[in-house]
Amino acid sequence: MAETIHLALAGAGAFGIKHLDALQNIPDVRVVALIGRTLEPTKEVAARYGIEHASTDLEDALARSNVDAVILCTPTQLHASQAIACLQAGKHVQVEIPLADSLADAERVARAQQAAGKVAMVGHTRRFNPSHQWVHRRILAGELNLQQLDVQTYFFRRKNINALGLPRSWTDHLLWHHAAHTVDLFAYQSGQIMAANALQGPIHPELGIAMDMSIQLKSRTGAICTLSLSFNNDGPLGTFFRYICDNGTYIARYDDLIDGKDNKIDVSKVDVSMNGIELQDREFLAAIRAGREPNASVAQVLPCYRVLGALERQLAQAPL
């Protein structure tokens, strides 16, 4: 491969912009194609970031010989089919979370990766946030044993809008998107998940999704996780992680970390950046260069989607 890795990025919305900003901090990478839902706004973003090609057709970008890899920041419902198309076109691919919105589709992507032999990675950003890395390294070193992970994932999304306040062309999902972050992180920090249970609140009459959900998990180490999710919460917004360990309590919010007594923990030296998206993209590019499996590969995160599939079946059987 040439020294510079040439990327196509599909999805010029809120999260695509986060990747474009992050990639500007990484050497020897160039975004050469941008794919969006509508052409004129996509051209505007492409011009802002100096991207030479803009279109509304992923296949157009996949046919370009100067595209080595693709980052997918498209609607959830497209992730699996587009990831498979990238792999079959001989491109490495990073899919933003979630990999798919069904277990069957997640497994299809895993099979496509095995057949193609390309790097296929999923945007499970919590594995890369310095706050969670700090905890992970101490667990691996035997300095901490996780007893309970208590997580609150709260948003206010009673209308179908994105993080920029603009209308979405697709519907977000508490289970397949937002719970995926915590289910994978809990297994990453404590080992294989052995038991899982879920309850959900009423289905929104227009969006067709549950707006509130509660999930409980138990790992092979005996650690437990309690996850509360809501689209009805009117602030504060975001996700808060409380690690209750045998030797301390730590609270993480994205890239920040404090202990149980509100003392800020310096995680600035954990990695080369404090931006979890940038660290995620760096891992993707490093794996391509080294020809190795990345952290958060499709194979590594597939157990998360098996748990989500089991929870979905459980919720479908629950009485109203």
Give the separation between CA 8 and CA 30, rounded to whole angstroms: 9
pTM of the model: 0.93
pLDDT for the residue numbered 2: 56
Tokens, residue 136: 């992970």
Query: β-strands 120-123, 92-96: how paired?
Result: parallel
Q: Where in the chain is the domain with CATH 3.30.360.10?
A: 126-265+306-317
Query: What contacts 208, CB < 8 A, 6 or more positions away?
Result: 171
What is the bridge-based pairing of β-strands 120-123 and 69-72?
Answer: unpaired
Over the chain (320 residues), what is each successive 10-residue block's mean pLDDT?
88 95 98 96 97 96 96 96 98 98 98 98 98 98 98 84 61 89 98 97 88 97 98 91 97 94 97 97 98 98 98 84
Kindly tell me the burial class for residue 150, based on how many C-beta atoms sit within 10 Å of its own C-beta (0-12, 13-18, 19 or more).
Answer: middle
- Peptide bond between residue 236 and the one before it cis (omega within 30 degrees of 0): yes
Whether CATH 3.40.190.10 fits 126-265+306-317:
no
Location of each CATH 3.40.50.720 domain in the chain: 5-124+276-296
Q: Which fold has domain 5-124+276-296?
A: Rossmann fold (3.40.50)
Nearest to 217 by CA among 249, 248, 244, 185: 185
| pLDDT for 319 | 62
Q: Among candidates 303, 153, 147, 145, which has minimal Cα distance to 225?
A: 147
Separation of alpha carbons 52 and 33, rounded Å: 6
State the burial class of residue 283 (Cβ atoms within 10 Å of its Cβ: 0-12, 13-18, 19+).
Answer: buried
